[in-house]
Amino acid sequence: MNRAPYLLPGTQSRDAQQCVTATGTITLLPQTPQLRALHTVIRDRHVDAADFTRHSRRIIRLLLETGIGLLPFENYPVTTPIGRTYDGLRLASGLCGVSVVRAGESMEAELRELDPGVPIGKILIQRDRRTKLPHLYFQSLPPDIADHFVLLMEPMLGTGGSLLMALGVLREAGVDPANVVVINLLSSPQGLAAVQAAYPELKIVTSAIEEGLNHDAFMIPGIGDFGDRYFGTERRPR
C-alpha cells in the first residue's frame, strides 16, 4: 500500500515531515493560534513553574478530550426533561488510564476531572542516561484492564523506546493495541515511525510533532525534561 507523506503544519524541517506516514492512526491537534500560544509559554526556558503547569494542563485537557473521542461509542437513548427521546451515545466499554511514570502522572488529574471514577494504572520506565535505553522498574495495572479501553498517558515520545516497552506491558496484560489511545504532548518523527512499525493499529494523539532528536535524544526544538519542569524538580537555567 502506498502512503503519502504526513505533512506537519509549522514544522521547519521537511526531512522530519517525511519520517512519518499518514496511516489514519496519528491525530495531530489543529495547529491553531491558541495552541501555538500555549506551546510558546511551555517551551520558554524562563517561564515560571505556575505558568508552565497551568498552560500544560490546558493542552493536556485538549489531548484527553480528543483521545476519548476516538474510542468506539454505542447508541444510548435518554428521555429529556420535556419527555422526548434524545438518541444519545456512550462509550462502548469501560475506560482506564495508564500513566508512564513520572511524566505521565501530569495527565492523571485532568483525566479524573473528565471521569472521576476512572481506574488508573502505572508503569515506571526510566531511560539509562548513558545508553539511552529504557528499563522497566515497576507496573501496577487494574486486574480487568483487558476489558477496558486504555488511555496510555506518555507526554514525551522521543526515540519511542519507553512507549514501546509500555505497550509491551499492556499486551502481556491482555490489552488489544487497537483498544489503546496514546495521549502525547510532544513527539518526534523517528519515535512515531518506530511505534507505527510495531503497532500499526495503535491510535496516537499529539499536540506537536517535532523536527527531530539531538545527540542526547532530546527533541528539537523541544521542551526539555517535561516531568522535571511540571513537578518543579528541574535545575533552573541561569
Q: Is residue 237 part of a domain?
A: no
Domain range enclosing 24: 14-72+92-231
Q: How many CB atoms lie within 10 A of CB 148?
A: 21
Count of domains in the chain?
1
Q: Are 170 and 98 in contact (CB under 8 A)?
A: yes
User: What predicted TM-score, i.e. pTM, was given to this entire model?
Assistant: 0.88
Cell of 201: 493499529
Other C-beta atoms closer than 10 Å to the C-beta of 84 total: 8
The model's pLDDT over 31-44, given as tens digits with 9 standing for 90+, comes to 999 999 999 999 99
Specify if 45 maps to a domain. Answer: yes
Asked if residue 80 belongs to a domain, the reply is no
Residue 22 placed within a domain: yes
Is residue 59, in this structure, part of any structural domain at all? yes
Contact call for residues 71 and 196 (beta carbons, < 8 A): no
Of the candidates 15, 147, 176, 228, the residue annotated as catalytic is: 228
Indicate whether 87 belongs to any domain.
no
Catalytic residue list contains 21: no
CATH of the domain at 24: 3.40.50.2020
Identify the CA nearest to 230 among candidates 46, 36, 49: 49
Q: Is 152 a member of any domain?
A: yes
Q: Which of 80, 131, 216, 238 is catalytic?
A: 131
Q: Is residue 77 part of a domain?
A: no
Q: How far apart are CA 197 and CA 201, in angstroms?
A: 10
The yes-or-no answer on residue 32 being catalytic is: no
Give me the count of residues in the chain: 238
- From 43, 57, 102, 127, the catalytic residue: 127
228 counts as catalytic: yes
Q: Is 51 a catalytic residue?
A: no
Q: Read off the pLDDT of residues 186-227 as tens digits, 9 standing for 90 and up.
A: 999 999 999 999 999 999 999 999 999 998 888 999 999 999
pLDDT tens over the chain, length 238 residues: 333 333 333 443 444 444 444 456 999 999 999 999 999 999 999 999 999 999 999 999 999 999 999 999 999 999 999 999 999 999 999 999 999 998 999 999 999 999 999 999 999 998 777 777 889 999 999 999 999 999 999 999 999 999 999 999 999 999 999 999 999 999 999 999 999 999 999 999 999 999 999 988 889 999 999 999 999 887 765 5
